[in-house]
């Protein structure tokens, strides 16, 4: 079950997310973004942004953001290539929370690791959130 952001403090570690990018998922991603790049179409490599998209999807299952949340920044570092059908695990940690008047700023650091434990992606994402109604 997803936790409300207001319940979390800096340092909180989100539950890991596990997923696999098989050929069918890669094909769906390529169709959605209109990419016809050779290394992806012949199923040799997974598009790096597909890895990032699934990491963000896994994160979104663990934290509940309120209506009015604004995604303000994203930093990604692609470290290793990912092959289709590789099991991946994403890890995320709330690195910053800051209150500014009626708004909250949160930053989440995350990384994705291969089934061999190698980091394949690092990232940071930030949101501006409205104050809880109860506060």
CA distance 55 to 92: 9
Tell me if 46 is assigned to some domain: yes
Write out the residue range of the structural domain in which residue 24 sits.
12-130
In a domain, 1, yes or no: no
- pLDDT of amino acid 38: 63
Backbone angles phi, psi at 101, to 5 degrees: 65, -125
List the CATH number of the domain containing 41: 3.10.129.10
Closest CA to 92 of 21, 6, 8: 8
The total number of structural domains that make up the chain: 1
pTM over 0.85: no
**9-18, 95-104, 112-121: which has the highest mean pLDDT?**
112-121
Give residue-wise pLDDT tens across range 106-117: 999 999 999 999
The span from the CA of 128 to the CA of 119, in Å, is 28
């Amino acid at each position: 079950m997803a936790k409300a952001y207001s319940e979390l403090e800096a340092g909180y570690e989100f539950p890991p997310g596990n997923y696999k990018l098989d050929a069918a998922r890669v094909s769906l991603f390529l169709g959605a973004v209109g990419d016809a790049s050779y290394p992806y179409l012949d199923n040799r490599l997974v598009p790096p942004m597909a890895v990032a998209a699934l990491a963000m999807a896994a994160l979104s299952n663990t934290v509940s953001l309120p209506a009015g949340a604004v995604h303000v920044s994203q930093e990604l570092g692609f470290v290793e290539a990912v092959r289709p059908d590789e099991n991946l695990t994403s890890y995320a940690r709330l690195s910053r929370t800051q209150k500014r008047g009626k708004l909250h700023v949160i930053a989440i650091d995350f990384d994705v690791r291969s089934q061999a434990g190698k980091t394949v992606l690092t990232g940071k994402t930030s949101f501006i959130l409205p104050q809880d109604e109860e506060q």
